[in-house]
Structures are given as C-alpha cells and as structure tokens.
A and B are shown apart, each in its own frame.
Chain A
Amino acid sequence: MNPKLSNRIAITTLYVIASLIVLILAALLGYIIISGLPALSWHFLTSPARAFTSGGGIGIQLFNSFYLLILTMLISFPIALGAGIFLNEYAKQNWVTSLVRTSIEILSSLPSVVVGLFGFLIFVVRFNFGFSILSGAFALTFFNLPLLTRSIEEALAAVPDEQREGGLALGLSKWETVTHIIVPAALPTILTGVILSAGRIFGEAAALIFTAGQSAPALDFGDWNPFNISSPLNPMRPAETLAVHIWKINSEGIMPDAKAISSGASAVLVISVLAFNLLARFIGRRLFKRFTAG
C-alpha cells in the first residue's frame, strides 16, 4: 500500500470514529432534553415533590443539589489546593510522593457506590451524622478530592519554572512565590478543573443514596437559621438531590406522572451539567485573556 492511500484510509477511519462519538453524544443529549422539556415549568422547578399524586416538582431536590455542591466544594477545594501545592511545589520526587500519587489514582478509580458505603459507615453511623447533607458532603469530598487534587497539581505544573525563579530572584520566599505568583498564574486552569468537577458532583447519585439520604423533608424557605430543622441551610437534615431523586422515581416512584417528572428532572440535570462545562470554558478563557492581554 502506498503512503498516500494508507494516509487517506487512516484519516477516513478517524473521521468516522470521531463523528460516531459526536453523534451518540448528540443523540443522547437530544433525547433527554427533548423528552424532558414538556415537563419543565417554573412550577416544576420550584414546588416540592409529591409522593402519591401528580403535579409535583423538584424544587427542594434542586436546592439540595446546589447546597450539597457548595458544601462539598468548601470542604474539598482547600484540601485539594493544599495537596496540589505540596505535591507540585514542595514534595521531593521520591518513593513517598510516588506512593501518594498512586494512592490518589487508586482513590479516583473507586466506584462511587463504594465511596457511598464507606461514607455511610464512617459519617452516618460511626460519627453519628445520620443521613444528612454533611455526611453527603464528606462522602462527595472523598469522591471529588483525587481528581481535583490531580487537576490542581497539573495546573500548577503547567506554570513555567521561570516564574518560580523570577519570584525567588526578587528575594521572595518560596511560599510567597507560590501563593502570589504561581497560584494566580494557574488560576484559570484551576478554575476550569473546579467547575468540571462540580459537574461530576452535581450528577452523582450512588455515593449519596447512603449518606445524604433519599428523603426531602419540606423546607421553609423563609427560615435561614441553619440550626432550625426546616431551614434550607441546616446541614444536618437529610437531603435527596436531583440525581438521587431521578434514581428513586425510576426504581420505586408511584406518582401517576412519574415518567414525566423523571424526564423533566433528567433534562434539568443534564442542562445543569452542560452549563457547568460551558461556564468552565467561558471563565477559563476570559481569565486567560485578562491575564495575558488585559
């Protein structure tokens, strides 16, 4: 076979594979969104779910998903940032750090249902947090930490060494250089990683079934005292999220409009995750532009 022909065959094959992937993705997204759209309404997005009658919404589940996401990020981002800085800036390349890196990789490949059961045993049972947002946030932290640490470490590694030398040569300490030069320079990439992992957290169900629970007690959106049981901010209340809600409706939902609600909730979930991804690209690009050409 001559080089020209083999090249053409290779390119055609790659095109076919690529378009197949895009097609499958587009079909999937299209199906979920189109079948869910009819159910979407302001009422659907804001009213609480009903167990036995039709006309329920996903308001509480939607709020729970966002609240859990924010709590998880508040816990996991500082830890991941610290770990990423340590691994990339301070740790010597020896067997200890390679052990840490391997552990992170193994942790990131744990099935989320295992993370969920682990969270159930540790946080729900052992620490007696019960089925609560807090238990869910800790379980999701375990789920999120490895990938977030990895992406922060890679973002820092992408900052050229000249920047570090530049800081040191001005008489700055290593810590000042890292916190004031390296981390800001890596910020666009770090932020992209954070938002992408937010999408993963938002769609996670298995790790939450045993930790944040499967019930969504009524909330009083006029009460913002986190110590009151009906307050939306109370971290000790059980909180079914959107993804868990979809799973529950499909496995044991008995309301008459279960199918419509499940489709609607799926559409909301997919659109949210899509929005996170687009937001990540947008913000990353904006920040990059601001830092390079402002």
Chain B
Amino acid sequence: MLINPASTHQDDLWLERHIVDPSQDNRQPIILETKQLHVYYGDNEAIYEGDLKFAEHQISALIGPSGSGKSTFLRSLNRMNDGVARVAGQILYRGVDINRPEIDVYEMRRRIGMVFQRPNPFSKSIYDNITFALKRRGVTDKKTLDEVVETSLKQAAIWDEVKDQLNKSALALSGGQQQRLCIARAIAVKPDILLLDEPASALDPVSTGKLEETLTALKSNYTIIIVTHNMQQAARISDYTAFFNMGRALEYDKTSQIFTSPKVQLTNNYVAGDFG
C-alpha cells in the first residue's frame, strides 16, 4: 500500500523542513502545542526542535529512526520525564503551559494519559485495574464504578473477551489483551489526550490489528498521539504524521502527504525504507 514517492520529486525541490498547522486543514481546534521545545538529559540535548501542533480528535503518528527523539518528545508531553530530563520551551495544553510550577501534575496526567511499549497491567484483578485510579480519587459508588468498567472495556474493544472474568488477575491475559486493558485503564479516568509509546511493538500481528481498530474507534472521543516504528501502522491509522530525525521534527503533514509526496528528502528516504 505504500507508494515509493521518489519519483514525484525533483532533487532541487526538497525542503529543509516542512511543518504544517493542522488547524488550517480542518475545523478541529488545537489541543496540544509545543513551542521551541528542547529536552536535555544532563548535558545532552535530546530534542533540538519539536514545534508541533496537535488538533483535537485526530490520530497523529510520530515516526523516525531509533534515537531520533520521538519517544523523548512524547514522554515530555505529560511530564513522564520529570526528574530524568530537563525541558525548555513551552508545551501548551489548551493554551496552558504544563511545565509551569503551579500546574497540578497529577491532574494534568489524568487528562493526558499514556500507554507504554510493554503492557503493564497491575497485579490486580481486571476490574481493580480499571477502577484503581478512580477509587484513589474518591469514587466509591459501586454502580458508577461498574459503569466505568463496562464503558472503558467496551471502548477499548476488550469487553466481550473479559466480561465474564472481571475478577481474574489481569496478568493472566494475553499480551494483546493486556495492552487493550491498559488502554481501557487509561481512558477510565476520562482523559483528553492519549499518548501511546510504540504500543504494538510487543504484540503479534493479530493483536496489533485489534489494537489498531481500537485506536481508530477511540478517535471520536480522544486525541491520540502515537509513537511507532511501524510505518505501515502509521499509514493505516493516523491522520497526521511527524517525522523525527536526530532530535528534530523535520516534517509534519497529513499522513497521506508524508507517505506519498514528502517534501523533505530525509523523510522520503525513511518512508521509502532507505534508512532507519
């Protein structure tokens, strides 16, 4: 399904950098935006430039070779790198800089949830995995919790597989089921944005397919930003794609554009499979 885009361009037409503003293409407002973002691990600068805008209810994919900074970028979007990396510049969530000292980092992370590379269900029952964070926030009404469990599991497309065994340990599920449970757990706290860090890299193709269906269905309620090594996956599910290389977001455009007629030569080489 990928078209080798090399033929669509003349060599002298390549751009240095090409970043679009998604709010220009569609009516969705911008929900998350980075401005002059720099991320440092000690003295090493991991992100040099990552100025991107993410529109509501879109799936944006971050692609690029290993070490290109896409995971670091993603993890700074809900401050998972606090204490590990230093961030300069701005990350605006609905216009508010999430790195300001008065920001309640726990509330911010509730709104900007994250799913990780390796499935990480807690060693609790399926039911408790979903309700745990809510209970910690003071939700105790059994009926409310039951409802949340059902809707979250349904949204994550795993309800039919686990509805009869909600009290079973989550660790007994298969890897693919565990990852969808983790998505259900993340959306149970009603976030705005879901960040996914290579969520399918530990899964087999069938589970990956299910996960992708789940993500596509979640789009109507959530804004999704996903890091992936799998270019087909980015092409299948995302609306926008950002290409990272050596700590810079080099190209950001509609996914169809990126995979058919990229404007930056490195992007072209990468999606054509020439390196990475």
Contacts and interface: CB of A to CB of B under 8 A. Distances in A.
Partners in one complex: yes
Interface of A: 160, 162-163, 165-173, 176, 180-181, 184-185, 290-294
Nearest to B108: A171
24 contacts: A162-B116, A162-B118, A165-B114, A165-B120, A168-B109, A169-B78, A169-B80, A169-B113, A169-B114, A170-B132, A170-B133, A171-B111, A171-B189, A176-B136, A184-B123, A185-B122, A185-B123, A290-B169, A291-B171, A292-B171, A292-B172, A293-B171, A294-B125, A294-B169
Given A176-B136, A292-B172, A293-B172, A166 B122 contact: yes
Given A170-B110, A170-B113, A163 B186 contact: no
A181 B171 CA distance: 13
Nearest first, the 3 closest Cβ-Cβ pairs linking A and B are: A171-B110, A162-B120, A169-B114
Interface string B156-172: 00000000000111011
A184 B78 CA distance: 26
A165 B116 contact: yes
Given A170-B185, A171-B189, A292 B113 contact: no
Nearest to A288: B123
Contacts of A165: 80, 114, 116, 120
Interface in B71-128: 78, 80, 106-111, 113-116, 118, 120-125
B192 to A, nearest CB: 12
A121 B108 CA distance: 55
B271 interface: no
A173 B133 CA distance: 10
B182 interface: yes
Main secondary structure on A side of the interface with B: helix
Contacts of B171: 291-293
A181 B129 CA distance: 10
Given A165-B116, A171-B107, A172-B106, 20 more contacts: A160-B118, A160-B120, A165-B120, A168-B80, A168-B109, A169-B78, A169-B109, A169-B113, A169-B116, A170-B110, A170-B185, A171-B106, A171-B109, A171-B111, A171-B133, A185-B122, A292-B171, A293-B169, A293-B172, A294-B167
A170 B113 CA distance: 6
A166 B106 contact: no
Contacts, number: 75
Interface of B: 78, 80, 106-111, 113-116, 118, 120-125, 132-133, 136-137, 167-169, 171-172, 182, 185-186, 189
A166 B123 contact: no
A176 B134 CA distance: 12
A166 B120 contact: yes
| Most chain B CB neighbours (cut-off 10 Å) among A160, A168, A171, A173 | A171
Contacts of A291: 123, 169, 171
A185 B116 CA distance: 19
A166 B189 contact: no
A180 B120 contact: no
Nearest to A160: B120
Contacts of B110: 170-171
Contacts of B108: 171
A173 B114 CA distance: 15
| Residue among A165, A167, A173, A294 with most chain B CB within 10 A | A294
A76 B168 CA distance: 34
Contacts of A181: 122, 132
Contact of A169 (B137, B167, B172, B186): B186
B138 to A, nearest CB: 12
B169 A292 contact: yes
B169 A166 contact: no
Contact of A180 (B113, B136, B189): B136
Contact of A166 (B116, B137, B168, B172): B116
A167 B120 CA distance: 10
A51 to B, nearest CB: 54
A102 B106 CA distance: 35
Contacts of B132: 170, 180-181
Contacts of B78: 169
A151 B110 CA distance: 34
